[in-house]
Amino acid sequence: MKNFLNFLILSIIAISIGSCKSDDEIVVCPDIYVPLVANIKYEDNNGKDLIFGDNPLYAPANIKMYKILANDQTAPINFTINKEAKFLAVNLEKVENGTFYIELKAGVTDKITYTAKIDQNSPCKDYKLIDIKQNDVFAKYDNKTQVWTLVK
């Protein structure tokens, strides 16, 4: 009887293990907030970097980003300056359509609008940035570097 019970338990374990497919993919979605980030650089019509070039037209330390609230007040937008990769990393709201402003220097401000959609191909169903417009002109996106280029 004892051998039969051991055999029964081992059989159940073997059947359970054998029924698992080897190609099943386990996906773990992070429990922490992962921001929607847009990496942005500015160039002129000839491809010259306007922020991180040899003689930059706009100093990175002077750049400000903000959004306009419902009461016409401004709220700063979080961004980081990546000097090595030569882009500005902007933390965006996870919304389908958003607007913010980049002030490159006093009197030089661009209205930036963006579209994001929930990525149905992503197992975590998170937002993916679809496009960015600078003053109603579409920005170029480089799939390799994952940077949006705005032309000034």
Q: Which domain holds residue 67?
A: 36-151
For residue 6, the tally of other CB atoms under 10 A from its CB is 10
* 28 domain-assigned: no
Who contacts 74 (Cβ-Cβ below 8 Å, separation ≥6)? 66, 67, 68
CA distance 118 to 97: 12
Share of the chain above pLDDT 70, in %: 79
Greater model confidence, 1 or 140? 140
Total structural domains in the chain? 1
pLDDT value for 9: 59
* 134 domain-assigned: yes
* 83 domain-assigned: yes
- H or E stretch at 7: helix 2-18
pLDDT per position as a tens digit, 21-77: 545 566 677 666 678 999 999 999 999 999 998 889 999 999 999 999 999 999 999
Model's pTM, two decimal places? 0.77
